[in-house]
Amino acid sequence: MSQQQTWSQRFESALHPAIAIFNASIGFDIELIEYDLTGSIAHAKMLAHSRIIPPEEAEQLVQGLEQIRQEYKNGQFTPGIEAEDVHFAVEKRLTEITGDVGKKLHTARSRNDQVGTDIRLYLRDKIKAICTDIRKFQQTLLQIAEQNVEILIPGYTHLQRAQPISLAHHLLAYFQMLQRDFERLQDVYKRVNISPLGSGALAGTTFPIDRHYTAELLHFDGVYANSLDGVSDRDFAIEFLGAASIIMVHLSRLSEEVILWSSEEFRFVKLTDSCATGSSIMPQKKNPDVPELVRGKTGRVCGHLQGLLMLMKGLPLAYNKDLQEDKEALFDTVKTVTACLEAMTILFEEGIEFQTKRLAEAVAEDFSNATDVADYLAARGIPFREAYNLVGKVVKTCLAEGKLLKDLSLLEWQQLHPAFSEDIYDAIAPRQVVAARNSYGGTGFEQVKSAIANARVQIEVQS
């Protein structure tokens, strides 16, 4: 199809070949073909429902569109650059199948509201799929957490040893991040699931269409109340990219921890062969490629968000060709987030092994129980700030003498303050330090078990 055939007789010559290639989007918007066909079928049925075309012609259109769907699935329909975009490609093929009836499909519809509908149908499906992937990863984290409630791991602030915590508690923090991601996408879905179909190019149409009928056929929750907004709005896409960026940031943070944990300096986890690679020159190395790639791909998704924000910031109403640039960002983000969620799920299912012996050593070789010494004194009536300063002094002394708090004799404790007694050793044992933090949401073992049970219920209720 030449540009002269595509457009009206207003044009006297075809596009320059290089401009035709530059202008075309068929190379990537073919991704929308199933949604374009679904939206067009609903539009054809509405035209008959509103008595704009006869029912038999609508049936011909529907049958023709379903034939194109089958041809595409079978690899028989492969439009090239001459089609410019998926919408024209479908219309051209439909006309070949149904004759002049095919030319009626575009009645009371613009490519502007057509593409807006396609994108929303596409994104609606992808949000559901990503939510399913989030649930799978959450289930994996929960399973590992259940197996490691009483395994301890150093907790950090400023990447400095802070307090020992339950490994399950650490993993449940990421469960909660993913839970917010899930709920955020559910909220975005509400604004994706509004139909722009019937907005026309920008001002509606003179035909007696029924926009609510097509919205119902396509399972939209409602329709855009303003036709200008209907064809130009990409807030929903920006929101999705924002939600996707936050998902990637959460995955990236977890990836960074796995990278650190697998290093020789930490040795908290061991990478299995199924999820690690080697070096081309250093035979001893096992590299954490999966979390490194996830960490790297995060910048790419965040970049798509920034790109769409900059795309939209200067656009006057209503539709502008700039909006063609929204699709590749959306498509790539969906594919990237999906791949990263799958990879991280596999990594935690079979790619890492927690080194429990090393973890036990790690929580016993530092001063992360110092706060518990201060709490011990505070529980015996000593003002916390005074207790805090006393413990700071004893830590300083221990560091100078190469000791840990557990190495101090009872006499040394009592010289520090007479409130200390034999039970100080139990109070500062790593397991007791963790178990004692039984406030709601804390790392105490009973709290962690309760959190796991609540998480199970939460998933079941919201699935």
Q: Does the structure show a pLDDT above 70 at 4?
A: no
- Give the Cα separation of 123 and 116 in Å (integer): 11
> Do 313 and 408 fall into the same domain?
no
H helices of 269-379, in order, are 289-312, 326-346, 356-362, 370-378
User: Which of residues 362, 392, 426 is at a domain's end?
Assistant: 362
- Give the Cα separation of 393 and 180 in Å (integer): 42
Q: Which domain holds residue 79?
A: 3-107
> Do 272 and 215 fall into the same domain?
yes
271-327 pLDDT per residue, tens = 998 888 877 777 677 899 999 999 999 999 999 999 999 999 999 999 999 999 999
169-179 pLDDT per residue, tens = 999 999 999 99
> Do 278 and 394 fall into the same domain?
no
> Do 180 and 56 fall into the same domain?
no
> Do 164 and 259 fall into the same domain?
yes
The rounded mean pLDDT for the chain is 94
Q: 172: domain CATH number?
A: 1.20.200.10
Q: Does the structure show a pLDDT above 60 at 5?
A: no
- At residue 138, the pLDDT reads 98
76-117 pLDDT per residue, tens = 999 998 889 999 999 999 999 999 999 999 999 999 999 999
> Do 232 and 329 fall into the same domain?
yes
Q: Does the structure show a pLDDT above 90 at 9?
A: no
> Do 225 and 347 fall into the same domain?
yes
Number of neighbouring beta carbons within 10 Å of residue 129: 14
- At residue 161, the pLDDT reads 93
Percent residues over pLDDT 70 in the chain:
97
> Do 210 and 241 fall into the same domain?
yes
Specify the long-range contacts of residues 289-293, CB closer than 8 Å, at least 24 apart: 290/255, 290/343, 290/344, 290/346, 290/347, 290/351, 291/254, 291/255, 291/256, 291/258, 291/259, 291/344, 291/347, 292/255, 292/259, 293/340, 293/343
User: Which of residues 331, 362, 393 is at a domain's end?
Assistant: 362
> Do 153 and 288 fall into the same domain?
yes
- Give the Cα separation of 231 and 209 in Å (integer): 17
User: Which of residues 324, 342, 362 is at a domain's end?
Assistant: 362
> What is the pLDDT averaged over residues 146-150?
98
Q: 21: domain CATH number?
A: 1.10.275.10
pTM of the model: 0.94
Q: Is residue 110 among the annotated active site residues?
A: no
- At residue 8, the pLDDT reads 59
Of these residues, 2, 263, 274, 279, which one is catalytic?
279
> Do 12 and 129 fall into the same domain?
no
- At residue 6, the pLDDT reads 54
- At residue 286, the pLDDT reads 86
Rg (CA), the chain: 31
> What is the pLDDT averaged over residues 358-378?
94
Of these residues, 8, 158, 439, 463, which one is catalytic?
158
- At residue 1, the pLDDT reads 39
Number of domains in the chain: 3
- At residue 212, the pLDDT reads 98
**Where are the strands (E) in 24-181, listed by range?**
152-157, 160-166
> What is the pLDDT averaged over residues 132-141?
98
> Do 157 and 303 fall into the same domain?
yes
- Give the Cα separation of 410 and 433 in Å (integer): 19
> Do 176 and 253 fall into the same domain?
yes
381-418 pLDDT per residue, tens = 999 999 999 999 999 999 999 999 999 999 999 998 99
Q: 375: domain CATH number?
A: 1.10.40.30
Q: Is residue 43 among the annotated active site residues?
A: no
191-208 residues labelled b (16+ CB within 10 A) or e (exposed): ebbbbbbbbbebebbeee
Give the pLDDT band of residue 10 (cuts 50, 70, 90).
low
